[in-house]
Chains A and B, each alone.
Chain A
Amino acid sequence: MIENGPLLQVENLRTHFVTERGLVRAVDGVSFNLDQGVTLGLVGESGCGKTILCRTLMGLLPPSAKISEDARVVFNGRDLRNLNEKALRAIRGREVAMIFQDPMTSLNPVMKVGAQISETLIHHMGTSKQEARERGIELLRAVGISAPERRIDEYPHQLSGGIRQRVAIAIALACEPKLLIADEPTTALDVTVQSGILDLLREQQRERNMSMILITHDLGVVAGRTDEIAVMYAGKMVERSATKQLFGNTRMPYTQALMESIPQLDHPTHTRLKTISGQPPNLIYPPPGCRFAPRCSRAEERCRAEEPQLGADGAGDHIFACWRPVGAAEGEAA
């Protein structure tokens, strides 16, 4: 175990899918580190590769997926790429846990809530049945479910969407994972339920000093509740920095355009929203150069020919992949 290194190191990860129509480059060269106790918001539109990236980390990919040979995914000192299925299974659910968007389909409809929590504990920790049940009740209480002694014997269909997602969180936390991946955990929920779930995740993350990756398409969700944000576009990570820095000093035109296209409460009625013209590119034939160039208002010839790499201008951890970043003097390159 590494004492001071990052908990998770991803290097040059490419996840491609072999399809009849060609090779889909869902994740195309992503590298990042995640430290212990840090919450990373992973933001992007559908199809940008954020979910596939996290499924790759979890080893939950369909057989048609191909991960590049030179990719490294080092978690807690071990390269997950070198582990066999059995070793992976010992990590999955125990050291890395995941929560999905729709709690109705991620829970087993014919198993009582208690059995679903116990299952994880018995499998990974060798807990006895009786102990697992008691621990299950504690966990349900910890995620803010009232009357956990009663709820533990209920089936998922008896619970509301918000309570179901709390159960999914309880299952994910059961083995005290080091990393929690939450894939759009509140997208299927009402706004009044959403804030409760996000607060719960934040609170549990801090209490347990877990690392967390919060995947979302909603910048509002990550703004107040993450330490760092990474923005993805068309299989690439295009900007990454501390949360406040990203909102205060956006450099990548895509990130800026994304922020500007969100309707704001302080917009007067009938405000014309800024839009990003066109659509995200086809990942079988991504455009040459910067993948955002065809939709970017700042794009010039170089953007369409040469691919920008993630880098900083000057000091700091704020990195972005752009030849003509927002806020730079004209002609200055990244």
Chain B
Amino acid sequence: MSQAEQQRDAMAKPVLRVEDMVVEFRLSKREVVHAVSGVSFDIYPGETLGLVGESGCGKSTTARSVMQLPVPTSGKVILNGTDLTALSGEELRRQRKDFQIIFQDPISSLNPRRKVKDIVEMPLVVMKEGTPEERAARVREVLTAVGLDPDYALDRRPFQFSGGQCQRISIARALVSEPSVLICDEPVSALDVSIQAQIINLLQDMKERYDLTMLFISHDLSVVKVVCDRVAVMYLGRICELTDSETLYRKPAHPYTAALLSAIPEADPNRAPQPIAMKDGELPSATNPPPGCRFHTRCPRAQQICTEVIPPLEEIAARHQVACHFPLSDD
């Protein structure tokens, strides 16, 4: 990293800062799901942070708790200097125009009985923004921006559109209030490859056009590589590695990151599938996570200390944080 970049980083204030966020769900008197256990990260202006991990690792819960849906059990979510977890219902509602989310399944996240114009206008109505004429103009503008013809789309309902087009409508709805932060929870996982590429490109265009800062959740590491500046890898409710995407893919330091990367099937018949660098076994239960490093039950490098002491997320190089007692080194 150049000195100029370092200076910029030191000066820029994060748009979104998540501090030691914990999200727990009580199942019964004795059982608690430890969905997110102390997650911290910053996202800087114009940056896209990726959040990857297997299903059940807490990445979607993290995204939703940033949205305050549900409010985290403890920890802070600071958006442009305001701690969202400390706001009352009405104050939070007013803040919502500034942070929006899109979901995985574009069809079930749109109300099937509403017309597209009502779906996209709804956030403005709820936030009591503008006159009806101003709102209608804004809806037309944002629909055009996401690549839909307003004259065609406005009076139609979601079932008259394909999955890819429904995701465009969801994006329009999220952007209509001009948020500074857009959270994308597996936005392309339900789409076919050819449509997936269209939506990924669209998200990148929207990011530039509307100056968005994004949190991008996906289980697909290749998608994350293309979209994100920095990537956080989650395992069982904790971040195990956080660095810029080039470094993460070139020099993963956490054994779990390395295992995930080795598992990606490559569209190249000349490269034989690699054996996956992880012990057999399943993701342990989040109601009873292993002590110490949560990955130690599947980690090929685990030693005694890993079963006892939780490794803190520490910088091993500039802007490269890893939570591991025995990180992988270059050799």
CB distance from A264 to the nearest CB of B (A): 6
B266 touching A263, Cβ below 8 Å: no
- Please provide the chain B residues from 181 to 207 with a CB less than 8 Å away from any CB of chain A in the complex: 192-198, 200-201, 204
Bound together, the chains give a CA A45 to CA B192 distance in angstroms of 6
Q: With A258-B193, A275-B194 known to touch, is A263 a contact of B270 (CB < 8 Å)?
A: no
Q: Among the interface residues A190, A220, A264, A267, which one has the most CB atoms of the partner chain B within 10 A?
A: A190
A263 touching B223, Cβ below 8 Å: yes
B263 touching A269, Cβ below 8 Å: no
- Please provide the chain B residues from 256 to 314 with a CB less than 8 Å away from any CB of chain A in the complex: 259-261, 263-273, 276, 278, 280, 282-283
Contact of A190 among B55, B162, B200 (CB under 8 A): B55
Chain B residues, Cβ within 8 Å of A225 = 273
Chain B residues, Cβ within 8 Å of A218 = 193, 265
Bound together, the chains give a CA A248 to CA B270 distance in angstroms of 9
Chain A residues, Cβ within 8 Å of B221 = 191, 265
Chain A residues, Cβ within 8 Å of B193 = 45, 217-219, 258, 261-262
Chain B residues, Cβ within 8 Å of A196 = 276, 280
Interface string of A253-284 (1 = CB under 8 A from B): 00001110111110111111111110100000
CB distance from B208 to the nearest CB of A (A): 10
A195 touching B226, Cβ below 8 Å: no
A190 touching B269, Cβ below 8 Å: no
A263 touching B222, Cβ below 8 Å: yes
A221 touching B265, Cβ below 8 Å: yes
B194 touching A258, Cβ below 8 Å: yes
A46 touching B198, Cβ below 8 Å: no
Chain A residues, Cβ within 8 Å of B61 = none
B195 touching A279, Cβ below 8 Å: yes
CB distance from B215 to the nearest CB of A (A): 16
B245 touching A192, Cβ below 8 Å: no
Chain A residues, Cβ within 8 Å of B273 = 195, 198-199, 224-225
Bound together, the chains give a CA A94 to CA B263 distance in angstroms of 32
Question: Across the two chains, which residue of chain B brings its CB closest to A162?
Answer: B282
Is B228 in the interface zone, CB < 8 Å from A? yes
B265 touching A220, Cβ below 8 Å: yes
- Please provide the chain B residues from 226 to 278 with a CB less than 8 Å away from any CB of chain A in the complex: 226-229, 245-246, 249, 259-261, 263-273, 276, 278
Q: How many residues of A contact B (CB 8 A)?
A: 47
Bound together, the chains give a CA A160 to CA B268 distance in angstroms of 30
Bound together, the chains give a CA A248 to CA B264 distance in angstroms of 20
Chain B residues, Cβ within 8 Å of A274 = 197
Is B164 in the interface zone, CB < 8 Å from A? yes
Is A204 in the interface zone, CB < 8 Å from B? no
A217 touching B192, Cβ below 8 Å: yes
CB distance from B15 to the nearest CB of A (A): 18
B265 touching A46, Cβ below 8 Å: no
Q: With A263-B222, A265-B225, A279-B164 known to touch, is A192 a contact of B194 (CB < 8 Å)?
A: no
Chain B residues, Cβ within 8 Å of A264 = 222, 267
Chain A residues, Cβ within 8 Å of B270 = 244, 247
Question: Across the two chains, which residue of chain A brings its CB closest to B266?
Answer: A220
A279 touching B162, Cβ below 8 Å: yes
Is B115 in the interface zone, CB < 8 Å from A? no
Q: Among the interface residues B193, B263, B268, B270, which one has the most CB atoms of the partner chain A within 10 A?
A: B193
Is B54 in the interface zone, CB < 8 Å from A? yes
Chain B residues, Cβ within 8 Å of A267 = 222, 225-226
Bound together, the chains give a CA A272 to CA B249 distance in angstroms of 19
Contact of A46 among B192, B223, B269 (CB under 8 A): B192
Is B219 in the interface zone, CB < 8 Å from A? yes
Is A194 in the interface zone, CB < 8 Å from B? yes
Bound together, the chains give a CA A82 to CA B16 distance in angstroms of 66
Question: Across the two chains, which residue of chain B brings its CB closest to A246?
Answer: B269
B263 touching A194, Cβ below 8 Å: yes
Q: With A265-B225, A276-B194 known to touch, is A243 a contact of B269 (CB < 8 Å)?
A: yes
Interface string of A220-261 (1 = CB under 8 A from B): 110111000000000000000001100110000000011101
Q: With A190-B55, A195-B265, A244-B269 known to touch, is A265 a contact of B249 (CB < 8 Å)?
A: yes
Contact of B204 among A259, A261, A272 (CB under 8 A): A272
CB distance from B158 to the nearest CB of A (A): 16
B265 touching A190, Cβ below 8 Å: no
Chain A residues, Cβ within 8 Å of B229 = 269-270
- Please provide the chain A residues from 202 to 227 with a CB less than 8 Å away from any CB of chain B in the complex: 217-221, 223-225
Question: Across the two chains, which residue of chain B brings its CB closest to A273?
Answer: B197
Bound together, the chains give a CA A195 to CA B196 distance in angstroms of 22
Chain B residues, Cβ within 8 Å of A163 = 282
Chain B residues, Cβ within 8 Å of A247 = 267-270
The 6 closest A-B pairs by CB, nearest first: A220-B265, A261-B197, A273-B197, A276-B194, A45-B192, A263-B226
Binding site for B on A (CB under 8 A): 45-46, 144, 146, 160, 162-163, 190-192, 194-196, 198-199, 217-221, 223-225, 243-244, 247-248, 257-259, 261-265, 267-277, 279
Binding site for A on B (CB under 8 A): 54-55, 162, 164, 192-198, 200-201, 204, 219-223, 225-229, 245-246, 249, 259-261, 263-273, 276, 278, 280, 282-283
Offer 21 A-B interface pairs, CB within 8 angstroms, sorted by A: A45-B192, A162-B282, A190-B55, A191-B219, A191-B260, A195-B276, A196-B276, A199-B273, A220-B267, A221-B265, A224-B266, A224-B272, A224-B273, A247-B268, A258-B194, A261-B197, A263-B220, A267-B226, A269-B225, A270-B204, A270-B229
| Additional pairs, 8, CB under 8 Å, beyond known A262-B222, A272-B204 | A146-B280, A191-B263, A192-B54, A219-B267, A224-B268, A271-B226, A275-B197, A276-B197
